[in-house]
Structure 1
Amino acid sequence: MKKLNSSEFRQMFLDFFKEHGHMVLPSASLIPQDDPTLLWINSGVATMKKYFDGSVVPKNHRITSSQKSIRTNDIENVGKTARHQTFFEMLGNFSVGDYFRDQAIPWAWEFLTSPKWLDLPKDKLYCTVYPKDTDSFNVWVKAGMPADHIVKLEDNFWDIGEGPCGPDTEIFYDRGQENNDVAEDDPENFPGGENAR
């Protein structure tokens, strides 16, 4: 496992996707441009709605970015957990009609586990999928994720109000039970649950 500072990590992520044919977009302003639906930019995809709704065709259908973002929807958890923040940079890779889970999931696994990239221990990685999304479950298993490290969660349905939405998948690094801050019988006691694990 490589030890990287945040700048090195960001650059490695962008370089990985650039090697896979993605155009690197700079972080947009936190103040949305031509989008009255948002007070702040709250995700990487928020700046790309114009591509996904078809009003603008991107120069490259593969895009990667590190987008500065502000979120306040779970502000009551800020300071209580290590993963709730109001300001953060969201790293993302996006396909505008070019590829789907059959490439996105193996690329995620490669970036996380390849000695060339992050070289994370595979036994520490878990992912979550939407329960009815058996396709993503199967692609994860084919990529190398053990089936018992895949958690099915209803929360894995992404939306931004009115607009693009659908099942999603998330990846978690298990810091171990010793870092857990919930009871053993708590329903959130799993990698990816609402805990410090």
Structure 2
Amino acid sequence: MTPRAILTPRTEPVGTDGFTLRERSWKREADKHVAALNALLAERGAPIRFAFPAPVAVPFEGPGPDEAYAGAAPLDDELADVLALSTALLQAARAGTDDVADERELLLRRAALLDRLALAAPHDATAQSRAIREAHILMTFDVVHHCGRGPFAADSIEADGAGGPRAYVRQEYAAWHTPIAPGEGI
């Protein structure tokens, strides 16, 4: 009688579908969970559906800082403009005449300012985290209000990866800084 070989992930036979028996059982369980989740989402009227395995996004680079901030005001002038926008928006909110476009411009310019400050101090962890936080605030605003002019939406899978939030800010700043051609944006 020959001793029975112990199966390990390296010695387990692979089937014609490319999965081992263990992997196939894991995939079956994952498919059940995904089906249950999609049924729940359909019941609630959600427009999204999940797939297993999840799609892998191409890293979202967006425009580089030099391209995105070409022609931008110097940092101290930009800071003064952001403070003036904040004051004007606060006064408009008190008067009840605030506007979504003005609020988005403030969030965009504030996120771009913090991104530029973080680029100027690459080893400052606080500056990096503040830039990411402001980018997430802008992205959340854009998802809620269906804003954004760049090729990637704030809720796209490309903008969700590492570096995606700040790349999204650069994309939107470059689009905001570029004038809209006649006939566009109507």
- Determine if the TM-score, normalized by the shorter chain, exceeds 0.5: no
Question: Rg bigger for which structure?
Answer: 2
Q: State the TM bucket, normalised to the shorter chain.
A: under 0.3
What is the TM-score with the length of structure 2 in the denominator?
Answer: 0.24
Higher strand share: 1
Which has the bigger relative contact order, CA under 8 A and spacing at least 6? Answer: 2
What is the TM-score with the length of structure 1 in the denominator?
Answer: 0.23
